[in-house]
Chains A and B, each alone.
Chain A
Amino acid sequence: MDVIAESKSKVIHERDERRKQTVPIQSPEERDRLVRAFHPDYKKEEYHKIQTGPNAGERTVREVAELLESDSPVPADLDLTPQYRVDVLVVGGGGAGATAALTAKALGADVLLVTKLRMGDSNTVMAQGGMQVAITEDDSPVTHFFDTLRGGHLKNDPKLLKVLVEEGPKAAQWLIGLGVLFDRDESGNLKTKKGGGSTKPRLLTCSDYTGLEIMRVLKDEVLNQRIPILEFSPVVELLTDPDGRCSGAVLKNMDNDQFIVVEAKSVILATGGSGRLHIEGFPTSNHYGATGDALVLAYRTGAKLAHADTFQYHPTGAVFPEQLAGALVTEGIRSDGGHLVNRNGKRFVNELDTRDVVAASIIRECAEGRGVKTPAGRVGVWLDIPMIDLLLGEGNITKRFPAMVRQFERYGIDIRKEPVLIYPTLHYQNGGVAIDTDGQSQTQGLFVAGEASGGLHGRNRLMGNSLLDLIVFGKRAGAAAAQRAKSVPAGKLTLSHVTRFQKELEKNGIKPKRIAPIILPDYVRRAEIMPAAAAKQ
C-alpha cells in the first residue's frame, strides 16, 4: 500500500508541472512502432491459423479460432416446424437490434425481436463517452471520415465509412425526435466534446449516460410499437434454404432449455461483440452475454468475417478496487482534461491519441516498470481525474460524470479528490461479419448490424463511432431486411450448412474444442479453483 500512497502523492504534487505540459501526438511511424511492440493484437503467440470456412488461412486469436471451428449445439435431426413465421427476425436487444426492429416495423414488416438477456441489457447501455456526429461549423462529414480512417489504420471500408459519417446527423435527428436528450449549450445547440483520435469536437453526450439514455428511449419505443420480444431466447443456430440463403433461426428458451424454430424472410444479427471470451486473458468491460455469437452463427452459413483478428482494448479499465477490475472509466475523462500518469508522476502519452496507441503506451509503461501494483497483484497507471476540476472549475466532475462518481463512491473512492488506477480492458470487437452498405452479409437474407459486423472501423474503432454505427447501420439493415421480406417468399428451413461445415472440419482433421455459440461465460466456481481455506470449511 505504501508504494501506492507514495506514487499517488507524486501524482498530486506534480499536477502544476503537468498542467503546463503538452504531450505531442506521435508521428504515424512512431505510433505504428508502439502499437506493434505493445498492443495485444500483435502478440504472435496468441494467434492461430483458421483452417476451415470462408476465412481459412487467416490468423486470429485462439479464443475466436476455437469459436469458429466449434460444434453446433443443435441436433441435426431437430424438428424444424416453425413456431413463429415472420418477415424479419431481429436477433439482439441492444441499440442496433432495437433500431433495426423499429425501422423494419415502420416499413410495414412483421418483426420479431429475440434476445439472450433482457431487452436493453447490452453494451449500448454502458456507452458513456458519446456519439460522434460532425455538426460544428468548422467540422464536416469528410473530416469525420478521415479521422476515422486514420484511427482505423486506413483499413476501414470507405463505402461503409462514408455512409456512417454522412448519415450521422440524420441519425442524431431521429434520436432527438424519439426524445433522446443530448446535452445542449445556452443557445440550444448541441454541445460537442472532443474524443480521442478526432481533430474536431463532435461527441454528442447525455452527461456520462449517453448509451443508457439512448437505450432507455429505444426500448420504450420498441414497446410502444408493439414489436413482440422474446427474452432469454438467444439464437443457437441459423437456418438456410437449399440454396444457402438464410431462412430462419433456432432459438433456445433459457428457462426450460427447449428449442424454438423461427421462419423469417430476413434475419438481422445484432448480437454485439465478444468481450466475455476474455481474449488473451483480459478482463472486459462487456455485458454478460457478449460471447461473439454472430461470428460463429454467420460463419457456419458461409459468411466471411472482416478484421476478425483485431480487438479494442479500452485504455482505461479500472484495476482498483479489485471488484471493478475491467470496468470502464469513460474516455470522457480524458476528453475533459484528465491526465494519464505513470508511477513516477509523469505523463507518457497524449491522452487523446487513438485508443490502440494510448492502450499500447499504458502497457509499455507497466511492462517497463513504471506501473503501480495493486494489492491483488494487478498493475496499472494513474488516471488523474481531479485535474478536470482544476482545469474547468469545481463541480465539473460531479456534473459531467455522475455515473463514474457513483460507481467509485460505492467503494469509498472519491474520484473528485483522488486519481484512480487503470489498465487496458477488452472493450470492443473491431471486426466482425463483413457487410455491405445495406448491412447484408455474404449470405443472402442474413443482415448484420452494430458491433457484430465488420469492416467499418478498420483495425481500431474511433471512440464515439460505435453508438453512431448501431443507429446508422441498424437503420440500414432494418430497411434492407424489410425490403427483402416484401420481395421474397419464405425459404425452406434446413440445417444443411451446419452439416456441410462439420464435414469440412472433419476433413481438415479438426476436433472442435467447444460447442458454440457459448451463450454465457462459465463463471460458476468449480471444486478445482476453490481456495484451500474455503474447501476446508
Chain B
Amino acid sequence: MTERVHESTIGAQSRMITVEIMGRPYSVPDGLTMLRAMWYTGHEVVRGAGCLGGFCGACAATYRTKDDVRLRNTLACQMLVEDGMSFFLNFSYYPNRKSIYDLDQISDPKQELFKIYPEASLCRNCNACTEACPQGIDVRDGVWKAVFGDFQKVSEMFMDCVMCGQCIPVCIADIAPNHVALYASRAHGARLTAPPQNLTRRVDEIRSGKYTDEWKKILSMSEEELKAAGQPSK
C-alpha cells in the first residue's frame, strides 16, 4: 500500500488559492473539497460532517464565488473550493415542525396531507426551494405534485433527497418541502401501492414451515458437510 495521504491534503494541487471560511481568508491548495479545506486550515469539524460520501446532508454549506452575487448551497464533502470563494457550513439545524403521523391510522393519505402539512397548499410559486436544493431536485414542482395527489411522482422526484433541509428556511409559505415529500413518498409506498406478491408468497411459505425439515438437517451438519452441501449446482 502506498503511504497514506493526509486527509486534509487529498486532491491538493501545487497552486495555492485564497478562500474565505466564515469570513476569514486562508491560503489553501487548489483541488481540496470544502471540508478538506477546513481541516487544512486547522478547523476541528464536529458538526458539519457525516457520511462524507454526499448522501447524508450533514455538511450542507452556503457559498459565493468571486464574481457572483448569488449565494448557493452545496454539500461540503463533495464541493471543491475555488479561488475567491467564500463559504461556511450552515449545519442546517432549522427547528422546523415535523408533523407526527401514524401511517396505519390514516384513512385517505392524499387528503390527510392537508391536515398533516396544511401549509403545503399555500405555495406561492417563488421557486426558492428549487434554487436552494444542492441535489438539483425540482422541489417546487414536487410540492405541487404532492398537493395534487401525484404521490408516486413525488417519490420518484425526491429519491435523491438527502434531507439536508436547505429548502426549509427559504420558503416564504413556511413549508418544509422535504418533509412534505417524505410524507407523500412514505404514504405512497405504505398505503397506495399493492403489496408485492412474490414477497408475500415467500413469507407465507416460511410461515407454513416449508423449510423446517431442511433447516433441521442443515443445522446438524459439520463444516465439511456444509461445504459439500453448499456447492452450487451448475
Contact = CB atoms under 8 A, between A and B. Distances in A.
**A associates with B:** yes
Interface of A: 40, 117-118, 120-123, 125-126, 133-137, 140-142, 145-147, 149-150, 154, 158-159, 162, 166, 169-170, 172-173, 176-182, 184, 187-190, 199, 206-207, 209, 211-213, 216-217, 219-220, 223-224, 226, 232, 254-255, 278, 280-283, 285-288, 321-323, 325, 327-328, 376-379, 402-403, 406-407, 410-411, 520-521, 523-525, 529, 531, 533-534, 537
A36 B145 CA distance: 55
A323 B10 contact: yes
B162 A407 contact: no
Nearest to A134: B202
A126 B219 contact: no
Interface string B151-195: 000010001111100000000000000000010011111110111
Contacts of A288: 49-52
A182 B14 CA distance: 46
A537 B40 CA distance: 14
Interface residues of B, number: 87
A285 B53 contact: yes
A407 B55 CA distance: 10
Majority-rule SS of B interface residues: loop
Contacts of A211: 55
Given A216-B182, A278-B4, A525 B51 contact: no
Given A169-B199, A179-B103, A325-B10, A126 B190 contact: no
Nearest to B179: A220
A212 B211 contact: no
B68 to A, nearest CB: 18
Contact of B16 (A137, A166, A169, A533): A533
A523 B39 contact: yes
Given A142-B215, A170-B203, A288-B50, 10 more contacts: A126-B51, A141-B206, A149-B226, A149-B230, A158-B219, A184-B196, A189-B199, A190-B198, A285-B53, A523-B8
Contact of A125 (B31, B55, B187): B55
Contacts of A402: 159-160
A137 B202 CA distance: 9
A520 B190 contact: no
B2 A531 contact: no
Interface string B15-53: 010000000000111011100100111111111011111
A154 B58 contact: no
B11 A323 contact: yes
Contact of A525 (B42, B53, B135, B218): B42
Contact of B55 (A126, A181, A187): A126
B42 A123 contact: no
Given A176-B196, A179-B103, A169 B202 contact: yes
A520 B46 contact: yes
Contact of B101 (A150, A154, A224): A224
A-B CB proximity, top 8 nearest: A179-B186, A121-B50, A146-B230, A179-B189, A179-B190, A523-B7, A525-B8, A323-B11
A175 B161 CA distance: 19
A176 B31 CA distance: 42
A180 B155 CA distance: 10
B27 A537 contact: yes
A141 to B, nearest CB: 6
Contacts, number: 239
Contacts of A283: 4
A321 B11 contact: yes
B39 A537 contact: no
Nearest to A192: B198
A170 B221 CA distance: 26
A388 to B, nearest CB: 19
A250 B119 CA distance: 42
Contact of A407 (B78, B201, B221, B230): B78
A40 B1 CA distance: 9
Given A216-B182, A226-B100, A523-B7, A181 B188 contact: yes
Contacts of B161: 216
B85 interface: no
Contact of A327 (B28, B53, B56): B53
B108 interface: no
B9 interface: yes
A534 B199 contact: no
B80 interface: yes
B79 interface: yes
A343 to B, nearest CB: 17
13 contacts: A142-B214, A173-B203, A176-B195, A181-B188, A189-B196, A213-B159, A226-B100, A281-B1, A379-B2, A524-B8, A524-B43, A525-B39, A525-B42
Nearest to B158: A216
B67 interface: no
A257 to B, nearest CB: 10
Given A173-B203, A285-B53, A323-B80, A378 B198 contact: no
A121 B58 contact: yes
A172 B190 contact: no
Contact of A188 (B9, B100, B194, B218): B194
A149 B161 CA distance: 36
Contacts of B206: 141, 166, 169-170
B218 A158 contact: yes
B54 interface: yes
A39 to B, nearest CB: 12
Nearest to B53: A126
A161 B196 CA distance: 25
Given A134-B202, A328-B53, A166 B185 contact: no
A190 B202 CA distance: 12
A181 B100 contact: no
Nearest to B186: A179
Contacts of B191: 179
A206 B55 CA distance: 14
Interface string B62-104: 0000000000000000111000000000000000001011110
A154 B227 contact: yes
Given A158-B218, A190-B196, A146 B53 contact: no
Nearest to B212: A166
A189 B197 contact: yes
A275 B215 CA distance: 35
Given A176-B189, A323-B10, A135 B55 contact: no
